[in-house]
Amino acid sequence: MKILVSVKRVIDYNVKVRVKSDNTDVDLANVKMALNPFCEIAVEEAVRLKEAGTASEVVVVSIGPKPCQEQIRTALALGADRGIQVETEEMPESLNVAKLLAKVIEEEQPGLVIMGKQAIDSDNNQTGQMLAALTDMPQGTFASEVKIDGDKVNVTREVDGGLQTVELNMPAIVTTDLRLNEPRYASLPNIMKAKRKPLDVKTPAELGVELKAHTKLLKVTPPAERQAGIKVASVDELVEKLKNEAKVL
Amino acid sequence: MAILIIAEHDNRTLKTATRNAVTAATQMGDELHLLVAGSNCKAVAVAASEIAGINRVLLSDDLAYEHQLAENMGKLVAEIGKDYSHIVVPATTSGKNFLPRVAALLDVAQISDITAVESENTFQRPIYAGNAIATVESLDAIKVISVRSTAFEPAGNGPSSEISELNISCDCKLSAFVEEVVAESDRPELTSAEIIISGGRGMGNGENFTLLEQVADKLGAAVGASRAAVDAGFVPNDMQVGQTGKIVAPELYIAVGISGAIQHLAGMKDSKVIVAINKDEEAPIFSVADYGLVADLFDVMPELQKQL
Ligand SMILES: Cc1cc2nc3c(=O)[nH]c(=O)nc-3n(C[C@H](O)[C@H](O)[C@H](O)COP(=O)(O)OP(=O)(O)OC[C@H]3O[C@@H](n4cnc5c(N)ncnc54)[C@H](O)[C@@H]3O)c2cc1C
């Protein structure tokens, strides 16, 4: 079985982003970029399935301008077999990403698709579900456990009330939550090896997808800043303040 | 054209998040319809019909919707929703699960987790873990929107509206429900609690969370956690507060042994009053705290319990 994993290039999760002074967007100039943490978990899961003999090949796809090839290489260093970049000028909206991925799925015919549940830049949490609808596949979102059994996959999902398990017909789409696994670090030899793994570049036109705009970003502003308060010296003082000053007790 | 809101429920009770979504929807237009899709969920429809501002309740009662499987819900809501100007859902794990399918089936964008309505087609939403607020205009005929509950007051009750039963069964047979492990607790739910006390890695282990539970019980508070505490197995995942956990905004949030990473702050920094208890005076949590206590939590918590 082939597994397709999609990955996104995003700001490193340790970086606190700043808004541009003209309020047109956030400022990503000279900011450290990385593989979206949830996508990294997706790659790890696919590689583990290959190591366990369940999967035969792991193909990783990224959509975006040329630099996203770095994140494809990172995924290849973690153990994916080959990469596909769909080259676009800008990062397309989720629905367009889903349409491009649907075409890649049509070509590659994977048995399972694993992706991150959300990207930590746009925080949309939607591409996987959209892709599932476009390809008429079942979905197991926010996965903390994935168990393949024949032509079905059981996915345990992190939901508001606790954990829910669903059984999906394959091919299916899984989106990862944080506790699915702990991704490995790529070793130096594997980073070197990754440089020689195949990486195909395609364009939206080749895939027959027209990138239509569905939304317009009007402005980006900083959030309301919270004022830091005071330090209290003791539990007595804390309780007194909460009762008499904040009046929340 | 009217606005379609999808109710969040467990077939027995209507969840408050629905009421927050209704308030957001009232800012987008006047004619509001509320869909209750589930199985044996008539009682939910009755409760929904009493929400102020709702003109009509649509009830889709079918086994196919018992567990709100995304495949079936997505198809149903897309089918009904194609005649509406807006489709509005609370941004709970259930709404997040099926709503993007609706958007894709209707070939429109989804605007996730809105925190403000500027006009019928322009919305604000946090991006980058809440470190920036985007104002986004929808260019689509149908606006598909999920609503961050903490940003809108819950709608109250008003004159009851009519309930119409629908007969659309969408059973895609692509997926099946296996089981649900629900964490049972007598304490209030995190997302609707007035007071929350959360523990982080500093708690050391799961047993030590009883220190928080004892205080929570005195205050009628809910207990939450940081990702580190959940990952370490101290407490279950449904307690995680943050960018990728639950978004909360109680009257009082007490962070105990939590450093205050941006991903955690993203989930709680809109709380009215924040208290931080941490032994490291440099911890970033103090930069958002109204009241900070630099001390060892193992000294503070028993003392706090005594004083309440
Ligand atoms: C993609 C992604 C998503 C994430 N999503 C979330 C999320 O939704 N929610 C979330 O919380 N995190 C999230 N994180 C993790 C986040 O980056 C932090 O790692 C996490 O919040 C740290 O948890 P903590 O504060 O409990 O632990 P630490 O950062 O280890 O802090 C522990 C704190 O406890 C204090 N302490 C220790 N002992 C004591 C004591 N005896 N008395 C008093 N204080 C003590 C220490 O001084 C320290 O400040 C996410 C990370 C990533 C990469």
Task: Give residue A227's pLDDT.
Answer: 85
pLDDT at A228 over 90: no
Cα three-residue angle A175-A181-A185, rounded to 5 degrees: 115
Residues of A in Cβ contact (< 8 Å) with B137: 215-216, 218
What rounded mean pLDDT belongs to chain B?
Answer: 97
Q: SS3 of A60, please?
A: strand
CA dist B131 and B266 (Å) reads 8
- Does B1 or A59 have the greater pLDDT score? A59
Q: Is B291 touching A (CB cutoff 8 A)?
A: yes
CB A238 within 8 A of CB B291: yes
Ligand 1 residue neighbourhood (C-beta within 6 Å): A 13, 37, 120, 178; B 200-202, 226-229, 240-245, 257-259, 261, 263-264, 267, 278-280, 283, 296-298
B223's CB contacts (< 8 A; 6+ apart) are B187, B196, B197, B198, B199, B209, B212, B213, B216, B235, B239
CA dist B191 and A248 (Å) reads 18
Asked whether the CA dihedral A214, A64, B115, B49 is positive or negative, the reply is positive
Q: Which domain holds residue A77?
A: 2-217
Distance from the Cα of B210 to chain A's closest Cα (Å) equals: 19
CA dist B301 and B195 (Å) reads 16
The two structure tokens encoding residue B247:
């978004």
Give the model's confidence band at B183: pLDDT under 50 very low, under 70 low, under 90 confident, else very high. confident
The two structure tokens encoding residue A157:
């999902």
The H-assigned helical ranges of chain A are: 37-51, 69-78, 94-108, 127-134, 188-194, 204-207, 235-244
In a domain, A238, yes or no: no
Distance from the Cα of B251 to chain A's closest Cα (Å) equals: 7
Known binding residue B49? Answer is: no
CA dist A221 and B45 (Å) reads 39
DSSP symbols for B98-165? HHHHHHHHTT--EEEEE-EEEETTEEEEEEGGGTEEEEEEE-SSSEEEEE-GGGSPPP-B-S--EEEE
Give the model's confidence band at B127: pLDDT under 50 very low, under 70 low, under 90 confident, else very high. very high
pLDDT at B242 over 90: yes
B304 and A228 within 8 Å at the Cβ level: the answer is no
Q: Is A115 touching B (CB cutoff 8 A)?
A: no
pLDDT at A226 over 90: no
Known binding residue B221? Answer is: no
A133 and B101 within 8 Å at the Cβ level: the answer is yes
Task: Give residue B284's pLDDT.
Answer: 96
Domain ranges of chain B: 3-165, 190-307
Burial environment of residue B24 by CB neighbours within 10 A (0 to 12, 13 to 18, 19 or more): buried
Known binding residue B39? Answer is: no
Output DSSP code: residue B183: -
In the reported structure, the alpha carbon of residue B226 is separated from the centroid of ligand 1 by a whole-number distance in angstroms of: 6
Pairing of strands B175-182, A162-169: antiparallel
In the reported structure, the alpha carbon of residue B203 is separated from the centroid of ligand 1 by a whole-number distance in angstroms of: 11
Cis-peptide, bond into residue A171, ω within 30° of zero: yes
Distance from the Cα of B84 to chain A's closest Cα (Å) equals: 17
Q: B3-165 and B190-307 share one CATH topology? A: yes
CA dist B254 and B256 (Å) reads 6
Asked whether the CA dihedral A181, A184, A190, A191 is positive or negative, the reply is positive
Known binding residue B257? Answer is: yes
Question: In terms of Cα–Cα distance, which of B195, B281, B74, B131 is closest to A228?
Answer: B281
In the reported structure, the alpha carbon of residue A130 is separated from the centroid of ligand 1 by a whole-number distance in angstroms of: 32
pLDDT at B110 over 90: yes
CB A226 within 8 A of CB B269: yes
Q: Is A141 touching B (CB cutoff 8 A)?
A: yes
CA dist B249 and B189 (Å) reads 12
Tell me the Cα Rg of chain A: 21
CB B115 within 8 A of CB A144: no
B132 and A19 within 8 Å at the Cβ level: the answer is yes
Cα three-residue angle A63-A65-A67, rounded to 5 degrees: 100
Give the model's confidence band at B58: pLDDT under 50 very low, under 70 low, under 90 confident, else very high. very high
Q: pLDDT (tens digit, 9 = 90+) per residue, A41-97?
A: 999 999 999 999 999 999 999 999 999 999 999 999 999 999 999 999 999 999 999
Task: Give residue A206's pLDDT.
Answer: 98
Asked whether the CA dihedral B151, B239, A167, A138 is positive or negative, the reply is positive
Instruction: Give the CATH fold of the B190-307 domain.
Output: Rossmann fold (3.40.50)
* Total count of domains within chain A: 1
CA dist A41 and A26 (Å) reads 26
CB B65 within 8 A of CB B97: no
Residues of B in Cβ contact (< 8 Å) with A124: 110, 112
Q: Order across the sheet with A82-87: list the strands.
A: A199-202, A82-87, A57-64, A2-7, A112-116, A172-176, A139-149, A152-159, A162-169, B175-182
Q: Is A146 touching B (CB cutoff 8 A)?
A: no
Q: What is the CATH number of the domain that holds A172?
A: 3.40.50.620
Nearest CA in chain B to A220: B134
The residue to mutate among B196, B237, B246, B258, having the most atoms of ligand 1 within 8 angstroms of its beta carbon, is B258
Output DSSP code: residue B51: B
CA dist A98 and A85 (Å) reads 14
> DSSP strand E in B183-308: where?
195-199, 222-225, 252-256, 273-278, 291-294
Q: Is B13 touching A (CB cutoff 8 A)?
A: no
- Indicate the Cα dihedral angle B68, B70, B76, B78, nearest 10°: 140
- Indicate the Cα dihedral angle A145, A151, A152, A153, nearest 10°: 10
Residue in B105, B178, B307 closest to A239 by CB: B307
Pairing of strands B273-278, B291-294: parallel
Task: Give residue B184's pLDDT.
Answer: 83
In a domain, A28, yes or no: yes
A231 and B286 within 8 Å at the Cβ level: the answer is yes
Task: Give residue B251's pLDDT.
Answer: 98
Instruction: Give the CATH fold of the B3-165 domain.
Output: Rossmann fold (3.40.50)
The residue to mutate among B235, B259, B262, B301, having the most atoms of ligand 1 within 8 angstroms of its beta carbon, is B259
Q: Name which residue sits closest to atom 28 of ligand 1, judged by CA.
A: B259
Q: pLDDT (tens digit, 9 = 90+) per residue, A156-205?
A: 999 999 999 999 999 999 999 999 999 999 999 999 999 999 999 999 99
In a domain, A248, yes or no: no
The residue to mutate among B113, B227, B280, having the most atoms of ligand 1 within 8 angstroms of its beta carbon, is B227
Q: Name which residue sits closest to atom 49 of ligand 1, judged by CA.
A: B259
Size of interface A-B (CB pairs under 8 A): 257
